[in-house]
Structure 1
Amino acid sequence: MAEAQTNETVPVTVLTGYLGAGKTTLLNRILSENHGRKYAVVINEFGELGVDNDLVVDTDEEVFEMNNGCVCCTVRGDLIRILGGLLRRRGRFDGIIIETTGLANPAPVAQTFFVDEDVKAKTRLDAIVTVVDAKHLPQRLADSHEAADQIAFADVIVLNKTDLVTPDELAAVEARIREINRFATIHRAERGGVPIAELLDRGAFDLDRVLAARPDFLEDDSHEHNEDVSSMSFEVERPLDPEKFNAWISGLLATKGQDLLRTKGILAYANEDRRFAFQAVHMIADGGFIGPWKDGDPRRSRIVFIGRDLNRPQLRRGFESCQAT
């Protein structure tokens, strides 16, 4: 996304988490606190979201204003249509929050902001915030792949109900989360007690901002995990050939897209002074220049993969092969 667009687009936060994790408690806090901002809230009642993003269509839509000025929408229909209707009332709110069902994979919601040109032009995916139940996460990971998906997709994780576990249990749960997603910011909480400013309008989905705040964000290590979902990152020093990168990433997403939950990177192209931000959800990819490299910053390309059955040597060789000769 170009920097010039950022102030004109509406920030969208996707709030997800498994059944009983505390999403509604957190959402109620956002709606009731006196934070001086107005949010349109889309309550996702699509039912289970399928692989084909096939949503249950219903013409009913209820819109009402909360006491603090937030606009709340109970959605029974297509997410794109609802967003389009909200955007026609742009002046009534500062941002949009989409709460997914507890059994939902966040991918179809996130993909909306890549595939629909009108939504893409008027909104920006600010962050995927996942609420995690510290007490029951081990069991959820054992019996539901959606719980792992929700963690893998997260930019921000609210590790909730920390008062129900011992310090050792909490440390073990946090370590398990890190095995699935080493790159998300984790906030420990009781009853969703995280400052709202740490969750909304943070630009967490903008990888460049994350790198500016946390330069070690993409530091790689050789530690491997045998769990279903893993994350890994790579960095190259030589500039990339954009044609080589596009050919490689297109082929990779076409063949491994179902297993690649999130892909994101900041790229240095040959003969180009601007940084290129790339990100993808499964097979749906997007990218754009985000402004010049800052003086003194190393012009290195970095990329992150979060997914299943990732082949580290193969991904590393593929990314390195994209360097300009």
Structure 2
Amino acid sequence: MNNQDKTPVTVLTGYLGAGKTTLLNRILSEDHGKRYAVIVNEFGDVGIDNDLVVDADEEVFEMNNGCICCTVRGDLIRIIEGLMKRRNHFDAILIETTGLADPAPVAQTFFVDEDVQSKTKLDAIVTVVDAKHLLDEIGKAHEAQEQLAFADIILLNKVDLVSEDDLSKVEKRIRRINPTATIHRTERCQIPFTEILGRNAFDLDRVLEIEPEFLEHFHDHDHDDHVTSFSLTSDAPLDPTLFLPWIQFIAQEYGPDMLRMKGIIAFDRDDDRFVVQAVHMLLEGDHQRPWNPDERRTTRLVFIGRDLPRDRFEDGFRKCIAQDRAIAG
């Protein structure tokens, strides 16, 4: 099954009170012609307002607006497999995580289970944040930082409660954690759904086709945050026999603390760009497309994680440079 035939899955995450349930309820109640299956990750927190739930005793049920809702009572894989038996009843799947949840296990599901991977695709991780309280939350709750770190799309919500100067500070702080996510400013999560659904934003190949310089436009920061980001670059090509074992080692050794990793690799004597990304210890990579004749063949890797030893990463990365090219350069 190719990607176009797979059912897209959007993960909605965000810290307590940020507004993700408001966003979910808008998606479920507005007339947009789409039908969604909804999986709610509940830990004493139902997640969907009671007036939207028709029959809480049923794991899967039809809603008044044509959506289907199911409540997570067991394994996410089992529920997705059950949903796929009814795939003609809906167009896409939404997963809402609890406000204290790490989105990683949800994202990893789409890497590790072959059946789920063959029938669905992770479209985007959408994180809703409270513009008024985010800076305080980041300082107290590592979950708030990790939810930002995993995001492909960020809704900076409740912007009507914050001054422009404060909004700029919040956005700068977000960029210190996640330099690559798309940020939208919203009030009460009002945003065209085309900006957050069906974006294929988790697919790095697709993102790079639309925005080739996606991984370039940010600066490193030195600070004491729980979650940080940094980049490694090289204008000299890398040796694939050195780089591939090294990046696999990095994923295995530092995977628990490496939240996201994305990169474009220029290999020695290889005319195709190689794209790699990881969620924790789960790593995937493949050739994407030929380098354009006028395109600068620069390797760019972005790491987002908890207290990653940047100096070790830099040392190992430099050792992957093709030696004859490095000397020639």
Instruction: Decide: shared fold, TM above 0.5.
Output: yes
The percent of aligned pairs where both chains have the same amino acid is 61
Q: Deviation string for 1:84-122 (max 9, x for gaps)?
A: 111222222222111001110111111111111111222
2:199 matches 1:202: yes
Distance 2:6 2:320 in 1: 32
Q: Given the superposition, is the C-alpha separation of residues 118 and 238 from structure 1 closer, same or farther in structure 2, using an over 3 Å criterion? A: farther
C-alpha distance in 2, partners of 1:151/1:308? 12
Once the two structures are TM-superposed, the CA of residue 166 in structure 1 deviates from its matched residue by 2.0
The aligned runs of 1:30-109 (5 Å cut-off) are: 30-45=27-42, 62-109=59-106
Provide the secondary structure at the position in 1 that maps to 2:155: strand
Q: Is 1:28 aligned to 2:25, yes or no?
A: yes
8 Å contact 1:179–1:230 — kept in the other structure? yes
Task: Tell me, yes or no, if the aligned pair for 1:61 and 1:76 is still in contact at 8 Å.
Answer: no
Residue identity in the other structure for 1:304: V
Quote the residue 1:230 is aligned against.
228
**Superposition deviation, residue 217 in structure 1:** 2.6
SS state at 1:98 partner:
strand
**C-alpha distance in 2 between matches for 1:276 and 1:98:** 30
Range with greater deviation from structure 2 (180-189 or 36-45): 36-45
> Which amino acid is the alignment partner of residue 91 of structure 2?
D
- Aligned pair count reads 311
| Amino acid in the other structure paired with 2:266 | A
Q: What residue is the counterpart of 1:280 in the other structure?
A: 278
Deviation string 1:47-105 (CA, Å, 9 cap, x unpaired) is 69xxxxxxxxxxx8511223332222122111000111112222222221110011101
Asked if 1:150 corresponds to 2:147, the answer is yes
Which of 179, 182, 200 aligns to 2:179? It is 182
On the 8 A contact 2:220/2:229 being kept in 1, the answer is no
Larger Rg: 1 or 2? 2
Deviation at 1:32, TM superposition (A): 1.7
1:153-205, Cα deviation, whole Å (9 max, x unpaired): 11110011111122222222222111111111111111001111000111111
Q: Which amino acid aligns with 1:98?
A: I
Report the AA paired with residue 194 of structure 1.
I
**Residue matched to 2:265:** 267
Match of 2:238, SS state, is coil
**Match for 1:307: what amino acid?**
G
The answer to whether 1:138 aligns with 2:122 is: no
Secondary structure at the counterpart of residue 74 of structure 2: coil
Equivalent residue for 1:17? 14
Return 133-142 or 274-283, whichever deviates more: 274-283
- Residue 126 of structure 1, aligned match among 123, 137, 146: 123
For structure 2, the residue ranges without an aligned partner over 5 or more in a row are 46-56, 324-329
Q: Is the 8 A contact 2:176 2:221 kept in 1?
A: no
SS of residue paired to 2:65: coil
Secondary structure of the corresponding residue to residue 7 of structure 1: helix
Partners of 1:181 and 1:277 in 2: CA distance: 19
Matches of 1:239 and 1:34 in 2, distance apart? 51
Q: What amino acid is the match of 1:249?
A: I
Report how far residue 295 of structure 1 moved.
5.3
1:221 maps to 2:184 = no
What SS is found at the alignment partner of 2:320?
A: coil
Separation in 2, partners of 1:131, 1:252 = 30
Task: Letter of the 2:41 partner, please give it.
Answer: N
Partner of 1:252: 250
RMSD in angstroms over aligned alpha carbons?
A: 2.2
Q: Alignment partner of 2:79: what SS?
A: helix
Separation of aligned partners in 2, 1:46 and 1:241: 47
Task: Indicate how the Cα distance of structure 1 residues 138 and 222 shifts in structure 2: closer, same or farther if over 3 A, else same.
Answer: closer
Q: Deviation at 1:291?
A: 4.1
- Give the residue type in structure 2 aligned to 1:259: D
